[in-house]
Amino acid sequence: MKLQLLTLLLLNTYLLLGQTKKIVIAECNPFNNYSQNSAYLKSMNCLSNGYKVNQLNAGKLRTFVPLISQVSYPLNLQDAVLFEMESASKMGINAFRFPYYIMANPSYDEAFLEVLNQYFTTAQEKGLEFQFSIEVILRNNNKQISHQFYQKMLTDRLGKIFEGRQNSTSWLRDKEGNIMLFVRNPEYIEEYFYTKKHQQNAKEIKGLLEDISLQFNKVLSKVNASCSIVYYNNYIKDLNYAKKVSNYFSLMYYPPLKQFREKEMDNISVFCKRKMIPFIQPVYNQVHNNRLKWKSNNKYVGKAYKEELDPNDVYLNPNPKDFSKNFVKTLDQAIRRDADFIDLTSWNNYDEGSHIAPEMHLQFSLSEILKFKLSDWRNELTKVTEQCHINQYSTTSTYNLGTVDEVADKIAFELVTLLNSPADLYINGQFYQVLQSGLTVIDYPSEIAKAKKYSVRRGATKVFEQKLVQIPKREFSDTIYFSSSTADEKLWKEYTQSIINNYIQNQKSRFLLSSEETAMWYDALFTYTVQKRKNLLQHDINSSTYKSNREKYEKEYYNAIRGPLTKFNYDVFLEMENDQKRGKGIVTEDEKELLFLDYNLLPESHQGELK
């Protein structure tokens, strides 16, 4: 009873404080994490030895090596989700929106609930003010499942999601205290649209919005949680459609690319403000857009395409030529419209190239832009860490895939600066232009791309200096976009510190290390991670130089930790390392236990001594 009263008190306090708080929600694939599960690691690609030509079968190229993959081996699930939340919070993100597919198989459902539970548990145990929401993704025209059974499946699965956590303060809630439940393709809950074979339109849906609302009320009445539907508005050109939707649903969100339809989004934001409906601004990171297209018809190769592709039949479409400008532009629109929420696509959709989470090539350019703009949106501007980012595109491909329009012919790179006061930009020692305070984003043409050095000065004082990083030539195209910054080292340490600390603390408990031995191991691991990072940035992951460096740095690391460990413990450590490399420490989809999570050398009767 006391616990229930405390939960209600916390919830009421949250509601009183949360009504005026501006929230950033980021789409987060719960399976793109760094835990010891092969199913999750598959899309992270962090144990891959390289990029294979047959990855063209997916109709796109992978463009990433996650930053964390060079820090340690995969983490236990708790540490993995903790890293995600802590990293997102550093950028000003308050909540994750987890896409959830209703028609997925039971294995997916079980895995989703496992990860979701870990997010809630970790946030509570660590005292994190981080929130979560579910985005239910509805499908239609499934001949094997009747509409009645489909609604039952939706009801049952939502019941499992909310069971035991319906009163949690970690849910993202509206101003009335209801859990915000995002629903994509909400019209498919109605039988007519669920069974319909051809494309529906706004006029058809408007005529059945009342029934769609009643169907959702029917489902939610059987779920032990108080929810409000956040309705997916895919028809923003029709303002009357938004008005009609608002009669039945209290909130709307929008497809990411709708952010570029400024006039229509302006009309909706004005309407929402007039009706006192919280406005959700879509923000989409469109830096990567390297999808394959057919030469025959200029259409995208489908992501589900399974046949072997002939490079002569396809080409790689060019990336957007404005680098981060569209990202900045839509954040500015959120400020101008005084949006109540920002809906960011995405936190970690690496294989779609819309991610904001740090990885080895994008690094911290967009995350620092986001952090700066969010402080402006929230009216909490403070002094910034002055920094300069240089963003550039690498060679598109070595698959002999051409592009219709070569980016390098028009724009060589982009300079992003964050300054507390105006300063002067010098290129190769010569004055080039004045940089304003705050955020400045400038495109530079190809004629100055060969410049070796960029420096920012105030009078005779050098603020910082940045050299144009030469992107390594790679056997396979693992990135199109590449960023380097004067703040990389500082930010890299800030974001990965908790991972290293957690790993070292686990080893301290496992091998009963003294404080001095723990410090020795920490220094050795930190040196090792710096070496691995630089090696990956400077060399192709399949090159002989990269491989020989990797072996050299690993040997140096192993030798460095011989001191803190006894011979027996050192042999155990090597055995565990080798097991990880062979995949033995990685759990498959069918295995639910983390093999090394509870590994301990102490007999069972003495394990309490570690607490």
Q: What digits encode the pLDDT tens for the residues 468-498?
A: 777 666 554 444 567 888 988 888 888 888 8
Rank 45-59, 298-312, 449-463, 531-545 by mean pLDDT and report only the highest: 449-463
Q: Residue 459: is its pLDDT beyond 80?
A: yes
pLDDT-derived band at 349, boundaries 50, 70, 90: confident
Q: Given this model, what pLDDT does residue 72 score?
A: 54
Q: Given this model, what pLDDT does residue 20 score?
A: 61
Q: 281 and 32 in contact (C-beta within 8 Å)?
A: no
Q: Given this model, what pLDDT does residue 605 score?
A: 31
Q: Looking at residues 224-253, what average pLDDT do you find?
A: 95
Q: Could you give the CA distance from residue 212 to residue 193 in angstroms, rounded to a whole number? A: 10
Q: Given this model, what pLDDT does residue 611 score?
A: 27
Q: Residue 47: is its pLDDT beyond 60?
A: no
Q: Looking at residues 514-520, what average pLDDT do you find?
A: 94
Q: Looking at residues 54-71, what average pLDDT do you find?
A: 51
Assign 242 to helix, strand or coil.
Answer: helix
pLDDT-derived band at 598, boundaries 50, 70, 90: very low
Q: Given this model, what pLDDT does residue 124 score?
A: 95
Q: Given this model, what pLDDT does residue 406 score?
A: 44
Q: Given this model, what pLDDT does residue 521 score?
A: 93
Three-state secondary structure of 263-306: HHHHHHHHHHHHCCCCCEEEEECCCCCCEEEECCCCCECCCCCC
pLDDT-derived band at 230, boundaries 50, 70, 90: very high
From 106, 29, 607, select the one nearest 352 (Cα to Cα): 29
Q: 143 and 195 in contact (C-beta within 8 Å)?
A: no
Enter the tokens of residue 396. Answer: 């598109």
Q: Given this model, what pLDDT does residue 413 score?
A: 77
Q: Residue 409: is its pLDDT beyond 50?
A: no
Torsion sign across C-alpha atoms 585, 589, 593, 597: positive
Q: Looking at residues 202-215, what average pLDDT do you find?
A: 94
Q: Given this model, what pLDDT does residue 597 score?
A: 30
Three-state secondary structure of 53-64: HHHHHHCECCCC
Strands 413-419 and 438-444, by their bridges, are antiparallel
Torsion sign across C-alpha atoms 375, 376, 377, 378: positive
Q: 549 and 539 in contact (C-beta within 8 Å)?
A: yes
Least confident of 82-86, 264-268, 376-380, 494-498: 494-498
- Our measurement of the distance from residue 446's CA atom to the centroid of its chain's CA atoms, rounded to an integer in Å, reads 31
Strands 280-284 and 341-345, by their bridges, are parallel
* Residue 229 CB contacts under 8 Å (≥ 6 apart), including other chains: 181, 183, 186, 216, 220, 249, 250, 251
Three-state secondary structure of 468-507: CCCCCCCCCCCCCEEEEECCHHHHHHHHHHHHHHHHHHHH
Q: Given this model, what pLDDT does residue 186 score?
A: 96
Q: Could you give the CA distance from residue 168 to residue 122 in angstroms, rounded to a whole number? A: 13
Q: Given this model, what pLDDT does residue 312 score?
A: 77
**Eight-state DSSP code of residue 74:** P
Q: Residue 584: is its pLDDT beyond 70?
A: no
Q: 30 and 116 in contact (C-beta within 8 Å)?
A: yes
Concatenated DSSP letters for 103-142? Answer: TS-HHHHHHHHHHHHHHHHHHHHTT---EEEEEEE-----
Q: Residue 7: is its pLDDT beyond 90?
A: no
Q: Looking at residues 393-409, what average pLDDT do you find?
A: 47
Q: Could you give the CA distance from residue 481 to residue 393 in angstroms, rounded to a whole number? A: 5
Output 51 or 278, whichever has higher pLDDT. 278
Q: Given this model, what pLDDT does residue 66 score?
A: 62
Least confident of 115-129, 265-279, 304-318, 579-593: 579-593
Q: Given this model, what pLDDT does residue 399 score?
A: 44
pLDDT-derived band at 86, boundaries 50, 70, 90: very high
Q: Residue 461: is its pLDDT beyond 70?
A: yes
Query: What radius of gyration, in Å, describes the C-alpha atoms of the chain?
Result: 26
Q: Could you give the CA distance from residue 96 to residue 99 in angstroms, rounded to a whole number? A: 10
Q: Residue 449: is its pLDDT beyond 70?
A: no
Q: Residue 370: is its pLDDT beyond 80?
A: yes
| Residue 10: its H or E element | helix 2-18
Rank 286-295, 397-406, 541-550 by mean pLDDT and report only the highest: 541-550
pLDDT-derived band at 457, boundaries 50, 70, 90: very high
**Eight-state DSSP code of residue 181:** E
Give the pTM.
0.84
Enter the tokens of residue 609. Answer: 């001594």
Least confident of 37-51, 98-112, 267-281, 552-566: 37-51
Q: Looking at residues 446-451, what average pLDDT do you find?
A: 65
Concatenated DSSP letters for 135-177? Answer: EEE-----TTS-HHHHHHHHHHHHHHHHTTTTT-TTB-B-TTS
Q: Given this model, what pLDDT does residue 294 score?
A: 82
Averaged pLDDT of the chain: 80
Output 350 or 296, whichever has higher pLDDT. 296
Domains of the chain and CATH, by start: 2-31+75-287+323-352 (3.20.20.60), 490-610 (no CATH)
pLDDT-derived band at 373, boundaries 50, 70, 90: very high
From 368, 362, 485, 354, select the one nearest 415 (Cα to Cα): 485
Q: Given this model, what pLDDT does residue 471 score?
A: 67
Tell me the pLDDT tens digit for each residue of 287-318: 665 667 788 888 877 766 767 777 778 776 66
Q: 279 and 272 in contact (C-beta within 8 Å)?
A: yes
